[in-house]
Each structure stands twice: as C-alpha cells, then as structure tokens.
Amino acid sequence: MGKCAWLMLTAFCVFAAPLFGKPKMRVQLYGERFEFVSGVNYAYVYLILPNGDRATGLCGTAGEKSCTLESFAPEKRKKSACTLPGEPLIKLTCYESETYEADRKKNDITLYGGSGKVTYHIYGSW
C-alpha cells in the first residue's frame, strides 16, 4: 500500500470513528404536562423506554433554558387522547407514536428534538 493511501486510510479512521459511536436509544414520548409554581416552570414527561419500562421525568427551570421538547416535524405532530393509570385527574397532552433519540446517564435522560436537546430527571414510573 502506498504511503499516500495509508495516510488517507488512517485519517479516515481517526475522523470517522466518532461518527460510528454508540447508537442512541429511541424513546417514546407518551405525554407531557406543564406547571408554573413560584416562578419556576416544570415540565413532566411520561416516557416509554426501549425495554417497555414506563418512566416519569421532570425538568424545572426559572431561567432562559427551556424544558419544552419540540418535534422534528411539528406540522405532523398528532395529539391523542390519554390518561395515566390511577391518575384520572392529571391533564396530559399526549402524542401519537412520537419517538426521540435519547441518551441516558443514571437517572438523567436527554431527548433530542427539533429545537435541540432537553434533559429530564427520571424520578419514578407510571
């Protein structure tokens, strides 16, 4: 193999390696609700994880950072009727088969949407 070809192959491996990293998991957003309490915006999300577990996540912010996760195609976002088992009084906004790429580190899960990423703290199941 020529020296030039060897250098090109080496450069490709070095620069392309991060592109082929660990694939992100896909998480379904079942629903979400928002509360405003004492100057803090709270966003609660109800997720279905790849293994079928159901997780409740929370994001709270008083600053400029947003806890709102936007769909990649907002014009195609379809709302659906929903309720949480055992919680008929909680008003949710639910979506039809809306999935996002996600990364999870312990009890924090980051979802990647059309407006960037939002990190939620998983605090229970539903």
pLDDT 10s per residue in the chain (126 long)? 565 554 455 545 444 445 555 668 999 999 999 998 888 899 999 999 999 999 999 999 876 678 888 888 888 889 988 878 777 677 788 988 889 999 999 999 999 998 889 999 999 998
- Residue 4 is assigned to a structural domain of this protein: no
Element (H, E) at 54: strand 54-61
Task: Give dist(CA 108, CA 12) in Å, integer.
Answer: 33
Which residues sit opposite 54 in a β-bridge? 48
Task: Give dist(CA 67, CA 118) in Å, integer.
Answer: 6
Cβ burial 85-112 (10 Å sphere, 16+ → b, else e): eeeeeeebebbeebebebebeeeebbbb
- Residue 99 is assigned to a structural domain of this protein: yes
Can you give the residue range of the structural domain that contains 37?
23-124
What does the pLDDT read at residue 103? Answer: 96
What does the pLDDT read at residue 1? Answer: 54
- Residue 30 is assigned to a structural domain of this protein: yes
> Considering its fold, how many domains does the chain have in total?
1
- Residue 11 is assigned to a structural domain of this protein: no
- Residue 88 is assigned to a structural domain of this protein: yes
What's the predicted TM-score (pTM) here?
A: 0.76
- Residue 16 is assigned to a structural domain of this protein: no
Element (H, E) at 6: helix 3-16
Task: Give dist(CA 54, CA 30) in Å, integer.
Answer: 9
- Residue 79 is assigned to a structural domain of this protein: yes
What does the pLDDT read at residue 17? Answer: 46
- Residue 62 is assigned to a structural domain of this protein: yes
